[in-house]
Amino acid sequence: MKGGYSMNCPHCQNPVDDNTVFCPVCGQAVQSAPAQNAYEQQPYSAPTDSQQQSYTAPDGSYQQNGANLGDIPQGNYQYQNPQAPYQAPQFPMKWFKFIIYFQLFLTMVTCVFNAITFFTGLHYGSAMDAAMVYAYYGMGLKVVDIIFGLIYIGIGVFAFLVRQKLAHFKKKAPQRYIGLLISTLAANLLYMMIVSILTGMFLLDASTIGNVIGNVIMIVINWIYFQKRTSLFVND
């Protein structure tokens, strides 16, 4: 074609340009209006789940529909409780049983026996011996004996109460037991000191001092023993 025309008008055969819609000579339509872009003709519809793109992330994990499939654990798994059930510590309790089933009952009996001997003066021997001692050292000694007879009755009652609290695992029961041991030792020492002053005789001989030291050691041992078992005594 001449002059850059590449087509003719289908009506008058006049040469026209490719982009001409109406012939400038006859005025007839040379070609139909250009078709709309295919993308403009189709209404937009959101992609379905199956149409969403999938890709491989830079770390090599496969992702689809916004979920990182590389993060999903594979294989069969069973649920495991991260915390094992609590188990209370187990302690040997033979010494504890000895205390509540024998020692404290023996303490009660001993306290009652001591109270009777102090009331009657039989710890000096016979009734006649007691009368002679009181006559020689004065009635102040007899008063001291009666007072300590009452003290030993109180210690016996206290031993019974402590035994009940220990047997039922009451709070502070071990502390009361240690208090009982200290009270018994203190009462014995106090009595010997007072009698030594009233009679002028020193009663704290080597055997007595050894007995006192042994009692102190037992108090410390019992304190350590019950300190390790404090968690057991929780009842009100």
What are the pLDDT digits (tens) for 144-161?
Answer: 999 999 999 999 999 999
- pLDDT given for residue 27 in this prediction: 64
Residues of the chain predicted below pLDDT 70:
1-6, 25, 27, 31-89
- pLDDT given for residue 6 in this prediction: 66
Smallest CA-to-CA distance from 191 within 159, 146, 160 is with 146
For the chain, the first-to-last Cα distance in angstroms comes to 117
* C-alpha dihedral sign at 166, 168, 169, 175: negative
Reported pTM: 0.62
Structure tokens that stand for 80 in this block = 């495991």
CB 217 within 8 A of CB 224: no
Q: Rounded to whole angstroms, how far apart are CA atoms 89 and 232?
A: 9
- pLDDT given for residue 208 in this prediction: 87
* C-alpha dihedral sign at 182, 188, 192, 194: positive
- pLDDT given for residue 25 in this prediction: 67
- pLDDT given for residue 159 in this prediction: 98
Q: Rounded to whole angstroms, how far apart are CA atoms 20 and 154?
A: 130
- pLDDT given for residue 47 in this prediction: 53
Cα–Cα distances (Å) from 8 to 13, 50, 111, 210, in that order, read 5, 50, 141, 140
How many residues in total does the chain contain?
A: 236
